[in-house]
Each structure stands twice: as C-alpha cells, then as structure tokens.
Amino acid sequence: MKPCRPRFLAAALVAAGVFAFVPAARAEAPSPAEVARVSPTGNYLAGRHANASRDSAAAVAYYRAALRADPKNEELIERTFLSMLASGAIDEAIPLADRLIGIEKGHRMARLALAVRAIKRGQYAGARNHLSQSVRGPIADLTATLVGAWAQFGANDFKGAVENVDRLTGPDWYSIFKDLHAGLILDAAGQRRDAGKRLERSYRADPAALRTVEAYARWASRAGEREAAVAALTEFSRALPGHPLVEAELAELKAGRTLAAMVRTPPAGAAEVLYGLGSALGRQGGEDLGLVYLQLALYLDPEHPIALVALADLYENIKKPEEAIAAYGRVPQNSPLRRNAEIHRALNLDQLERTDEARRGLEALVKSKPDDFEAVFALGNLLRSRKVYQEAGEVYSRAVDLVPTPERPHWTLFYFRGICFERSKQWPLAEKDFELALKLFPDQPQVLNYLGYSWVDQGLYLDKALDMIRKAVSLRPNDGYIVDSLGWAYYRLGRFEDAVRELERAIELRPEDPVINDHLGDAYWKVDRKLESFFQWRHAKDLKPEPEDLEKIQVKLKEGLKDDGPPQKAGAVPTPGDGG
C-alpha cells in the first residue's frame, strides 16, 4: 500500500494545531484476531477512522496491523507513531521515532519523544542533542528550549540552562513560562534569592495561573516569607474558591509547616514543562497536541496528579468518558485532588449510563465528608440530570446549607434548585430561587430565560417577563431555547405574527427540539396556516416529547388547536398553571 497523502502530513497538522475530528463510537480497541481478519487497506482505513474519532488505542491497533503488511510505508510509520504517543504508549513509539528521524532528520515530534526518553534515563546530553536537531516553530521552540534547559540542569550546568532560557525570543506570552522555569531551575539548584526574583515575576505577570502561584508560594514559604506565600494563595482562592491544592497548601502554612519545592529533578522539571504547555494547548483548541504533551509528561512523572486531572479533563472535552474515568482513577490516593477526581469520575460514569454506580460513588463521598460542597452539588446535578427532581432539590438544599453567605459563583446552585422546585410543582419556592440567582448574577441569560418563560407560560407578569426574555435573547441571540421563549411570550400576548417569526428562527437553531416544534405548530394555527400546524405537531410527536406533552400533541393532531381563550393582557396575574 502506497501513501495516499503527502509525507508527514500528520506531523504538519500536529505542528500547526489543525485537526478536524468527530466523536468516537467505539468503546475499546480491536483484538489481534479482529485486525487479522481485515485486509491491510481495510486496517489503514479503519485506523484513519479511529484516529478521526480520537480513538487512539484502536488507531494504534489498526495502523500497527497495516504497518506489518507494509513496513516501509513512511506515512504508516508516522501515523502509527503519533497514535502511540496520543495513547500514552511511549515506549512502543520510540522505535518508530528512530525510524522517522532516519527519514526526516528534524522530525519534531520524533525528536521530542526521543529527548523525553533520554531525560527519563538520565541521558541529558543525548536529550539536548535530539532537541537541537528538531524542526522549529513557536510551540516547538519554547518546548525544546525549556525541556533542554532541564536536561542542561541535569548535566550540572544550571547557569547555562538559565542563560539558554533567557536567550529565547518569541511572543510576549513566552515570558511567563521562561520566568517560571528559570525560577524553578534556580530553586532546584539552591540559588534561592535569584529563584525568588524569577518566580515572583512570573507570579506577578499571571496571578490567576495555578502553577505560577504555587511555585511562588512554595518558594516564599521556604525563604522565610510565609506571609507572602499565604497572601498569594489566598488571593488565588478568592478568584477560584475551594481549589483542593490551594486549600491543602494554605492548611499546611497555617499549621506552621513549609511547602516543598514544586520541582526537584530534571525529569520532574521536563514533565512540568510538558504539563504546562499541554494543559494550555488543550484549553485553547489544540487538544491533539495537548494530549501528546500530557502523555509525555506522565511518561516522565506517572503520578503527576495535576497532569492526570488535566488529561482527564481533556478527555472529557473531546467526549471520551471511558478514558477520562481511567485517568481520574490514576490520581494518587494521597493527593488533595483525589476527591475531586472521584467526583468527576462519577459524573463520567453517569454519561456512560452507569448511573447507579455513579450515584453510589457520590453518596459514599458525601457520607464520608458531609460538608464537602462539591460532592453534594455533584450529587444534586446527577439526580437533576436524571429527572429525579424532588430528591435533587433536597440534595441542593443540603448544599445551600453549606453556603453561609451566597456569592456570585453560587448562582448555579439556586438556579438548579429552582429548576427542581419548578419541575416538582413547587413554584413559589422555585420563583424565590430564580430571583435569588438573578440577585447574585444580574442579567444571567439562562435565569432570565427560565424565570421569564415560566411567568409567560403561567400568564404571570407578562410585561416584565417579556423584557427579561428580550434581554436574554440580546445576550444569547443564537440560543434556540431562549429565542423559543421570546416566541412563546409573543404567542401568549396574542402577537401571533411576531410569534411565528421568532419560533421559525428558534427552529432553525434547534430543529430537533419537540417543544419548539410544538410551539411553532400552535403559532401557525393562529395565523391560519393549518397544514403547516399539523406538520409541526407530527414532527414534534416524532421527536419523543415528554409524556404529558405527547398527550396534548396527540389531541391537537386529532382535533386541531382548540380556542385557548383571549390573549393575556400585559401585567395580568391569573392563577399559576392556567396558561400554556
């Protein structure tokens, strides 16, 4: 089989951060017996499909089988190598990296993998040699320089390592990474004063970045500047309350203990480089290169807890819950991040329809620590997502009891509890929660929409409700559900042409929603477009609406829309439930 695309296309895509993938459907890699029954061309195509689905394990199995049939195919060598890196099979990928640099001397990902393996083995000169021969680019330059600096530190040349970091030029955002790693190298070399200058500069440049805050606070705690360490961590905690690592470090400081250095060895330093860049890439659209970097970081430091959480989070973002569960399960038991990992593991189990297992896990976490807000809140979210509204509302109430003074970030708690109260027919309680959520976060579009829609649907406070929904639409003009609310508000006010206009737009945005299709059918009926009404109702019926909605739709399909009385007058306040 000959390459059907230009050589090294995959590496070019990795380097450029250009990927276009679709969600994977396969749950596990094929067995050797399965791939043996497929032709080499079939394995190649199956590998490409698995790769496009971000199913790295399956891609490795198929590409490896295709490569056995065509062992000199350069494209297959590269595709297999990259899939192995993405799956975390670094040792398996190394022989292919050796072959790739024989084909293309400066192959950046092959050189990086070989350098990482050399650092893991303590072969620091070899690591620097590989990095010096790598093809360069913005991310590659920073990666090679910082990883190379840690290798140089490993060769007992911390001064040269820092000089090489400082010599690197590039975009402004380089400076934070440069100062952070120059400071960490100096700290590991025992150059405490110089380390502090660099770590403080990195922290001041980005006080919202967890690792710059931690690195500075850890240095400060050992440099006799305990108050500065506490201040840095406390400031971060105000912006992002409850982070487990920060809370654990503050507890250590308050107990009179100092914090250990974040990095002590060259492999740990190189892992920190790859974790930092991989995590940043994963958050900014470079998921595939981020995945490779995080796997390389974990190859160097298999129990790096925050890299494991970042890897799991990336898997969540690309809709790979099974892989996320596995990554969360690797977080060390003694890490402050372990409970957070268990919470997210349960939520991913729920995505796989393993809801009973997920619920048991969350209930066990809550039982072991009843004041753990995150665990209680997650249990409420699980129950709400499964429409167990009465019980979910009770669990959210337990979470509310753990919040002595609600602040802006708590708006979701009251919003979600309001939904549960509304769905369990406790409207007065729901209304109070929605209004409190808006007090905490004024003009929050989801809350404006939900409360406004609920008032409209009940015929309550229609002027105010219409203004709220218009505001929500102005904030989220492409949200089909919110546009539907505006259309339904116009319907309730008897402005049927306006209702049709907005509901047609909502259908364009959310064509698969049964409620919106049902609403548009009602609006068509009111403007004497009867055939179109029946079409929309039939379509709504086929989209599996809620049972009580289905019953109403079936009546309309038989009898048409009965006269539902005159339009509501603006400001009218009928008994809740009369309208809709």
Pick the CATH number of 471-580 from 3.30.70.100, 1.25.40.10, 3.30.1360.120, 3.60.20.10: 1.25.40.10
Q: Supply the pLDDT for residue 285.
A: 87
Q: Supply the pLDDT for residue 36.
A: 67
Q: Supply the pLDDT for residue 564.
A: 61
Residues 65 and 256: their CA atoms lie apart, in Å, by 58
Where exactly are the structural domains of the chain?
Answer: 1-104, 471-580
Residues 225 and 89: their CA atoms lie apart, in Å, by 43
Q: Supply the pLDDT for residue 19.
A: 31
C-alpha distance from residue 441 to each of 253, 408, 418 (Å)? 33, 6, 15
Burial (CB < 10 A; 0-12, 13-18, 19+), residue 36, is: exposed
Residues 36 and 53: their CA atoms lie apart, in Å, by 21
Q: Supply the pLDDT for residue 13.
A: 28
Instruction: Give the burial string for 320-334 (b: 16+ CB within 10 Å, else e).
Output: bbbbbbbbbebbeee
Question: Tens place of pLDDT for every residue, the chain, 580 residues?
Answer: 333 332 222 332 233 332 333 333 334 678 777 776 778 888 889 889 988 888 899 999 999 999 999 999 999 999 999 999 999 999 999 999 999 999 999 999 999 999 999 999 999 999 999 999 987 788 899 999 999 999 999 999 999 999 999 999 989 889 999 999 999 999 999 999 999 999 999 999 999 999 999 999 999 999 999 999 999 999 999 888 889 999 999 999 999 999 999 999 999 999 999 999 999 999 888 999 999 999 999 999 999 999 999 999 999 999 999 999 999 999 999 999 999 999 999 999 999 999 999 999 999 999 999 999 999 999 999 999 999 999 999 999 999 999 999 999 999 999 999 999 999 999 999 999 999 999 999 999 999 999 999 998 888 998 899 999 999 999 999 999 999 999 999 998 899 999 999 999 999 999 999 999 999 999 999 999 999 999 999 999 999 999 999 999 999 999 999 876 545 444 333 323 333 3
pTM of the model: 0.84
Q: Supply the pLDDT for residue 23.
A: 33
- The count of other CB atoms within 10 Å of the CB of residue 28 is 10
* Contacts within 8 Å (CB) and 24+ apart, 255-264: 258/221, 258/222, 258/226, 259/217, 259/218, 259/221, 259/222, 259/229, 260/218, 261/184, 261/187, 261/188, 261/218, 261/219, 261/222, 262/184, 262/211, 262/214, 262/215, 262/218, 263/184, 263/187, 263/188, 264/188
